[in-house]
Amino acid sequence: MPRFATLDIGTNTVLLLVAEPAGARFRPVLERAEITRLGKGVDKTGRLAEERIEATVSTVARFAAEARALGAAQIACVATSASRDAANGQAFLQRLQTEAGLSAEIISGELEAQLTYLSAERELGGEGPLAVLDIGGGSTELVLGSGGKVDFEHSFDIGAVRLTERFVHAVPPSPEEQAALQRSIDETLAEAPCPPAGFRFVGVAGTVTTVLAVSRGIEPYDPARVHLAVMPLAEVRAERERYFSLTVDELRGLPGMEPKRADVIAAGALILERAMVRLGAPEVVVSDRGIRWGLLYQRFGAALGGGR
Tens-digit pLDDT profile for residues 244-257 = 999 999 999 999 99
Please write down the HEC assignment for all residues of 60-100.
HHHHHHHHHHCCEEEEEEEECHHHHHCCCHHHHHHHHHHHH
pLDDT mean across residues, the chain: 94
Predicted confidence band at 307 (pLDDT cuts at 50, 70, 90)? very low
Q: Is the pLDDT of residue 111 over 80?
A: yes
Q: Is the pLDDT of residue 178 over 70?
A: yes
Q: Is the pLDDT of residue 125 over 90?
A: no
Q: How many Cβ atoms from other residues are within 10 Å of residue 280's Cβ?
A: 13
Q: Is the pLDDT of residue 306 over 70?
A: no
User: What is the structure's pLDDT at 124?
Assistant: 85
Predicted confidence band at 308 (pLDDT cuts at 50, 70, 90)? very low
Q: How many Cβ atoms from other residues are within 10 Å of residue 186's Cβ?
A: 14
Predicted confidence band at 268 (pLDDT cuts at 50, 70, 90)? very high
Q: What is the pTM of this model?
A: 0.92
Tens-digit pLDDT profile for residues 11-61 = 999 999 999 999 889 999 999 999 999 999 999 999 999 999 999 999 999
User: What is the structure's pLDDT at 1?
Assistant: 81
Beta bridge partners of 287: 204
Tens-digit pLDDT profile for residues 74-94 = 999 999 999 999 999 999 999
Mean pLDDT of 141-157: 92
Q: Is the pLDDT of residue 126 over 90?
A: no
User: What is the structure's pLDDT at 148?
Assistant: 80
User: What is the structure's pLDDT at 122?
Assistant: 87
Mean pLDDT of 120-136: 88
| Residues 6+ away with beta carbon under 8 Å from 155 | 81, 108, 109, 110, 112, 113, 139, 140, 141
Mean pLDDT of 267-279: 98
